Homo-oligomer: A and B are copies of this chain.
Amino acid sequence: MSNENMARDNFSNDRRATITDVAREAGTGKTSISRYLNGETGVLSTQLRERIEEAIAKLDYRPNQMARGLKRGRNRLVGMLVADLTNPYSVEVLQGVEAACHAYGYMPLICHAANEVDLERRYLQLLSTYRVEGVIVNALGVKEETLETLARGGVPVVLVDRSVDGLVTDMVGLDNTEAVRMAIRHLVSQGFDELLFVVQPYAQVSSRRVREAAFRDTIGALGVSGVSGATIVLDLDNDETLAEIDARIDAAQRRNRRVALFAANAPVALRVALHLKALHGADWQRRVALMSIDDSEWAELAGMTTVRQPTYTIGERAVEFLHERIEGAVMAARECLLPGELIVRTSTSAPTNNGGT
């Protein structure tokens, strides 16, 4: 037997070592190994412990989590279902989730629904079959029977960013209402008096609805001050809906209004920016002001004012909620709304009131 293979080949060639192998190697029973693994130290004689450590090292033994989970009923797995990893928001939340999971000793099982309801359902079922101890869900929003089944089956669920109709669970996200107010306050203070809120079709996504409602309400309350606004629904999969934006801007500028576009999230902002650039050329930013919720990486490059979400904290908080639930806490569903932060950049500085034609 070649020298370099010695270490691994001691016992049966390929198969990973099991607790039994270790016990045999250490000349003891499986129980002691198990105790050692579970940190029940101090209950083992020093010499036994040493023998065990040697055996483990020699066999390169790693306890099989599946088997442990099967036995004790908890596998430390938590599911994290993300609607769209393409959205930087999700990735940032994810980072918070991951960090918190590690702190609590969970292993996050990340699933990416890619905005497809079928995938969402499929992953939810999969998570269920893997017996995750809890699930953090950035749901697509559609009433998902599987999700409800999970929740009713005793698996803790905490929602992120969006709530789901008819499902009462913990939920954590941005304080959308206040965020929108903050943004509008800023725009108005900068002298803009015609605000165009651009949002994707609400579909079932609660945060979009809430943001739009907040926009409408705030504008309504501002009516007397001469500030007006309107909502434009933009379908990212349908370029034609972009035309309405142009029309609105045109009309307003013709009336000599100082127009500002307010995108409900980063994907919308990007699409709008691309469109405006195609329309007005490289210096489109001098033609129309644009801000958005979500502080994406290119916002700084474009000098676009944004409301940054406390994404990382959202992720952390979600895990905290989940952890409490997993530990057995029983209480009414909680809602955690975190404040956004206004990042002022040049895009909303001087309302130059540059006319239309």
Q: Are B125 and A62 in contact (CB under 8 A)?
A: yes
Q: Are A273 and B301 in contact (CB under 8 A)?
A: yes
Residues 206-247 of A contacting B (Cβ, < 8 Å): none
Q: Which residues of B contact A110 (CB under 8 A)?
A: 109-112
Q: Are A112 and B94 in contact (CB under 8 A)?
A: yes
Residues 118-159 of A contacting B (Cβ, < 8 Å): 119, 122, 125-126, 128-131, 149, 152-154
Q: Are A70 and B64 in contact (CB under 8 A)?
A: yes
Asked whether any CB of chain B lies closer than 8 Å to the CB of A282, the reply is yes
Decide: A130 near B66, CB < 8 A? Known: A94-B85, A297-B270.
yes
Residues 58-109 of A contacting B (Cβ, < 8 Å): 60, 62-67, 69-70, 75, 85-86, 88, 91, 94-95, 98, 102, 107, 109
Q: Which of these, B66, B301, B346, contacts A75 with CB under 8 Å?
A: B66
Q: Are B149 and A60 in contact (CB under 8 A)?
A: yes
How far, in whole Å, are A64 and B77 apart by their CA atoms in the complex? Answer: 14
Size of the chain A interface, CB-CB below 8 angstroms = 53
Asked whether any CB of chain B lies closer than 8 Å to the CB of A177, the reply is no
Q: Which of these, B62, B98, B152, contacts A8 with CB under 8 Å?
A: B152
Residues 273-309 of A contacting B (Cβ, < 8 Å): 273-274, 277, 282-283, 285, 297-298, 300-303
Q: Are B70 and A67 in contact (CB under 8 A)?
A: yes
Q: Are A66 and B60 in contact (CB under 8 A)?
A: no
Instruction: Give the interface centre of A88, A91, A95 by most chain B CB atoms within 10 Å.
Output: A91
Which residue on chain B has the smallest CB distance to residue A73? B15
Decide: A66 near B70, CB < 8 A? Known: A98-B112, A274-B301.
yes
Which residue on chain B has the smallest CB distance to residue A16? B153
Q: Which residues of B contact A154 (CB under 8 A)?
A: 14
Asked whether any CB of chain B lies closer than 8 Å to the CB of A44, the reply is no
| CB<8 Å pairs between A and B, sample of 22 | A8-B152, A8-B153, A62-B129, A64-B70, A64-B129, A66-B69, A66-B131, A70-B70, A85-B85, A86-B95, A95-B112, A95-B114, A102-B119, A102-B122, A110-B111, A110-B112, A270-B298, A270-B301, A273-B301, A277-B301, A282-B285, A283-B283
